Structure 1
Amino acid sequence: MEPDSRFAEFVAERGDALLRYGHVLAGNPHDAADLVQETLIKLRGAWPRVRAKDNPESYARTTMARLHIRAWRLRRRELLAWDLPEGEHHDVLPRGDEQALWQALATLPRKQRTVLVLRYYEQLTDAEIAQVLGISRGTVRSQASRALDKLRAAAPEAINPQPVRGDAR
């Protein structure tokens, strides 16, 4: 029997069970179907290695759980609203010193800008930023320090950062 037919047989036999497991993880059928689809794509790529093991379904379930956790982490700060807000909303244009700050922020290298946005806009701790970016806490601190130095030089009147959540930086 060819490897492709074994994979197809596995999907035919265990696909419904994986979909049920995905529904339990995600809480709705749409996200469950997405989880199963992403998992089967990853499983297909690893199939020669996985089929040699005793339980490919265990690999699939572990992959589904990890994919679900990753998606949850990415969306955990996202607030969904079903109803549109009442009334109109008009963005306030930044004051002169704020405009200078935004312009200076745009000139920073990508990693430095990302660290500052995660720290001061998203209010993440250094450990959380390090985890999100896949870098060390020391790198987070050095990138933030360099970025703040550049911002202080470019827009000194607009810079007065305050630490967040009592984070010991």
Structure 2
Amino acid sequence: MKAAQEDAYLEFVAARAKPLHRSAYALAAGDTHLAEDLVQETFSRVYVHWSRVARADNPAAYAQTVLVRTFLSLKRRRSTGERPTGNMPDSAESGPDAALRLTLLHALGQLPPRDRAVLLLRYWEGHSIEETGRMLRLSGSAVRSQGTRALARLRALLGDSLSDLVPQ
């Protein structure tokens, strides 16, 4: 891209960043992270075609269209995602249970993905060995042995710190 075109693009980005972010925030239903991703993806797509976009009658409308199409494309191809629930807690948890949960989540984050999946399905969600095996495409014996090894790794990561968090 030539220096003049790049300067024009940077001016466009500076002028349109806030309006596009507001639109993306509304599309994403208040999900700030998704909104930022949408705006970034929009600007990258506009950058690729900037020579054509700059000659258009309304580059701002072009960017807005790209933003909406990017959002719709993302929603179409997302096979999993968050789902709203009708059961919201009255207040945030605090105390030893919250600290224990955070410690466990941190330790789980340090395990390999497959170990995390086995522990999550077996012990967090309470699925049987057979169900876990079907979900992960593993045999029952593989689920048992991987679960045993994952629990051993988790215990090694937690050490004695877990006993400090459990109420006596």
Q: TM (normalized to structure 1)?
A: 0.49
